A and B are shown apart, each in its own frame.
Chain A
Amino acid sequence: MCTGPIRRFLAGSGFLALAAVLAAFLVPLGVSLVAAGGSGIGRTGTALAASSGISGFFAVEPGLLRALGFTLLQAGLSACAAVLIGVPAAFLTARRSFPFRRILLALSGVPLCIPPAIIALAFVLFYGRQGYLNVFLMRLFGYTEPPVSFLYSLSGIVFAHGFYNFPVVMRTVSQAWERLPENTAEAATVLGASPIRVFLTVTLPALGSSVVSSAILVFLYCFFSFVIVLLFGAVGVTTLEVELYQAARSALDFARAGKIALIESVTAAAVVALYAAVLRRTNAENSGLRGNRPRTRLKGLSEYLFTALFLAGLLVFFMGPLVSVAVRSFSSVRDSGAGFRFTLEPWKALFGRSSFGTVLFNTVSVGISTAVLSTAAALFFAVWSESGSRSHTSPRSSSLGSTGSHGSTGSLGSTGSLGSTGSHARTRASSSARFRRVPSGTLRFLSVLPLAPLAVSSVMLGFGWTLLVPSGVPALLVLAQSAVSWPIVWSQIQTSLDRVPASVKDAAEVMSDGRLDRAFRVYVPLARKGILSGAAFSFAFSAGDATLPLVLSIGRFENLALRLFRLAGAYRFAEACACALLIALLCAVAFFLQDAEGPERSVHAENKGALL
């Protein structure tokens, strides 16, 4: 057990880590917003020429308005698509037992573990003009032209976003559905409602907030989507995020980039505020859910048919693209979707490049550094706010508050962690209203911190940094990635802490010698699983992130995600697939290592070890 000075050193390091990630978020945000006024700092450090004053600032060009409109449209449609697929999937996973249910549930990890760059590549391989689906259909029906041609359009973006994000909706809604008490639906049945009326008038309203909160989260992710829109967006149709990237990196028009950043942030902040309100309501509603209904087998021919069609659809449309990546990485670089001949050629080409070792080293070292920094910051914040919040409440209210908190943990934690999942926007998760029992104004302010990164994109953050540091360095990438990923780590840790019963926290308060002692002997050991899981998420985010390395433009720096992006851009798909598989493998190792720790031990067992 570490002694007093070591504890103080570790706590101090945590504080510094938190200060660093907050600064890494707030400083570039401020700089990019200043640039919106036309007086930003140029790449060479010289002040940019002032634009045409206040009127110029508010005059938004039509092109920008079009981009805003398209951004909202594609994000809205994508959220609807995710809900349309996610809600039936939630019904199946929450209410029915059937073969492959566990596999369907496991898909909820896909948005978390697979970077958008891989998803984009997978969709190109499967749905592209020369993709496996088109080749299959052309052979089967004798078409001379590829019949599937929607990929490079709004439909393609919505399709990819919808399938990529439906697990977010599925997981959140499923968890609420599982705990929905049976008696209200039964009461409606006894009162004569048909199954459809029961669903529409009783079940759906009860699930409404869960559906809406997860849909808003998907909306936010799609609002900031970068790689998928960059690849699939039709000519002349872009989103604000892509516009921002082009203004900042291609046109070097920083005043315009700043303006885009401002519009983007204000819009996203409004959505985040809405999300926070809906999430509060969801948590309040779900905290009262006590049901724990056993799942039943599929009923009747119609349910069997629906489930079979749904699973077959997912297998083809969702798993098909992902399997394509694996298949293509073992086919010849000259092969298109038309043929498959097993070969290790792409892997040899990938490993054979002289810079491969450096790229791998960069990925692992930056990933580990990001995981360490973001975990240190998140752990400090979680433990500090936890012990702080308890010391601000009377024993009675604390206990009551904690009980409520514990009750709602399922929905909160899960929404939060899922929300925070995946790459960039989603990594800045849904940090929920965990501080609802805290009366202190300071802690209320602190509760906003993990939500703030939701309203800012990676491109915008990177843009702010490039204004300050024109030539990026790897350390900057670690800082920027930590600024984006620490909320998800915090969400994981907080979920672990929320599971600790109020009585255990009370005991810790009575038996420990101050906050630091309590933190190291009780909170940190109890949150161990959350800490490891958060660190794995952070590593996975860093390893799969091509956006920040691209925007920061670090000289002679390349990680595996950036290499994947470049290989795909050069139409070296087989090699890009091998690269994608390697990233997935690295992420799998990170998750395996945290999982090897075993499941979260019971609080009583933890408590015994922690306090004795």
Chain B
Amino acid sequence: MKGSLEADQLIKNWPMRTISVSFSVLPGQALALLGPSGCGKSSVLRMLCGLLAPDSGRVLLDGTDVTKEKPYRRGIGMVFQDHALFPHLNVEDNIGYGLATLGVGRKERRRIAGDWLSRFDLSGFGKRKIESLSGGEKQRVALIRTLVMKPGVILFDEPLSSLDAPLRRRLQTELRSRQQELGYTAVYVTHDDDEARVLADRIIRMEQQPDS
């Protein structure tokens, strides 16, 4: 089974702080990185998916070193905080954005988007504008946009932080069941203990050193 991820002594230095992490996730496992604001959780995700270059250390995907690979060549997807949906594109075009990069034709992109939307109870949403979606719908579209690329690993950067408490609880359960159903490896970043317990099989607590 594919989808094992390892952060091997990843280190990133800034003038006032240093991030240093090592962990691994098994295929199909869900891991939560828990820690206070500003401890560097999001930076770890950005190093894993290639948006931030570490000063030292390696990122291994299924045993292969992908540290020097460009983000989209790593086979790692990411769901961003506040969803990061493209406001000028409709739902369908948002979902198909990455597929277009792969050279998938427009018709096929629409078909794929339609399939995934119906799996996520969003049938008929393809032509909707992003601004017309509710928080939960945006969250699902962001997840679909990542899933259609068939990544082995999906990173979630505080995926539910912008939602209200009842919706957050409902989507925590949904995210968990989707992950188990589809079998992708997930790494969540959150500062909420309860959320981490619902979403993940394993929790790693990041701590801030007093002198950092």
Q: Which residues of A are in contact with B by a Cβ distance under 8 Å?
A: 181, 183-184, 186-193, 197, 201-202, 205-206, 208, 285, 288
Q: Is the CB of A189 within 8 A of B51?
A: yes
Nearest B residue to A284, CB-CB: B131
Contact call B84/A191, Cβ cutoff below 8 A: no
Judge whether B101 and A197 touch: CB under 8 Å. yes
A-B contacts, 6 listed (Cβ < 8 Å): A191-B72, A192-B149, A193-B72, A201-B97, A202-B86, A206-B87
Q: Which of A181, A191, A206, A288 contacts B88 (CB 8 A)?
A: A206
Instruction: Give the bracket for the number of chain B residues in contact with chain A.
Output: 20 to 34
Question: Chain B residues near A186 (CB, 8 Å)?
Answer: 46, 51, 78, 80, 84
Q: Could you tell me if B51 and A184 are in contact, using CB atoms closer than 8 angstroms?
A: no
CB atoms of B88 and A190 under 8 A apart: no
A184 to B82, CA, bound (A): 10
Once the chains are docked, how many angstroms separate the CA of A288 from the CA of B84? 13
Cβ contact of A190, chosen from B77, B81, B82, cutoff 8 A: B77
* B157 CB to nearest A CB, Å: 8
In the complex with contacts A193-B97, A193-B101, A197-B101, A188-B82 CB distance below 8 A: no
Tell me whether A191 and B51 are in contact in the complex, defined as CB-CB below 8 angstroms, given that A183-B81, A183-B82 are known contacts.
no
**Residue-by-residue, is B84-107 near A (CB-CB < 8 Å gives 1, otherwise 0)?**
111110000000011001100000
- List 9 tightest A-B contacts by C-beta distance, closest first: A191-B98, A192-B72, A192-B101, A183-B84, A205-B88, A187-B84, A183-B80, A190-B71, A184-B84
Neighbouring A residues of B80 by C-beta, 8 Å: 183, 186-187
Expressed in whole angstroms, the Cα–Cα distance for A132 and B85 within the complex equals 52
Q: Which residues of A contact B86 (CB under 8 A)?
A: 184, 187-188, 201-202, 205
Given contacts A183-B84, A190-B72, A205-B86, list 5 more A-B pairs with CB under 8 A. Answer: A187-B86, A189-B51, A190-B49, A191-B72, A192-B71
Instruction: From the candidates B78, B81, B85, B102, name the one contacting A192 in the complex (CB within 8 A).
Output: B102
The contact string, 1 if C-beta is below 8 Å from chain A, for chain B 148-164, is 01000000000000000
Min CB–CB distance B130 → chain A (angstroms)? 10
Q: Which chain A residues lie closer than 8 Å to B88 at the CB level?
A: 205-206, 208
Q: Which residues of B contact A192 (CB under 8 A)?
A: 71-72, 98, 101-102, 149
- Pick from B50, B82, B87, B97: contact of A191, CB below 8 A: B97
- Residues on the A chain within 8 Å of B78, using CB: 186-187, 190
Residues of B within 8 A of A190 (CB): 49-51, 71-72, 76-78
B140 within 8 A of partner (CB):
no
In contact, A181 and B97 (Cβ under 8 angstroms): no
Given the complex, which residues of B lie within 8 Å of A288, measured CB to CB?
A: 87
Residues of B within 8 A of A202 (CB): 86
Write out the residue numbers on chain A whose beta carbons fall within 8 Å of the beta carbon of B77: 190
Chain B residues whose C-beta falls within 8 Å of the C-beta of A193 in the assembled complex: 72, 97, 101
How far in angstroms is the closest Cβ of chain B from A207?
11
Q: Using Cβ atoms and an 8 Å threshold, which residues of chain B touch A206?
A: 87-88
Tell me if A189 and B84 are in contact (CB < 8 A): no
Q: How far is the CB of B182 from chain A (nearest CB, A)?
A: 18
Interface flag for B145 (CB, 8 Å): yes
A208 CA to B98 CA, complexed, in Å = 22
Known contacts A190-B78, A192-B98, A192-B101; is A184 also within 8 Å of B145 by CB?
Answer: no
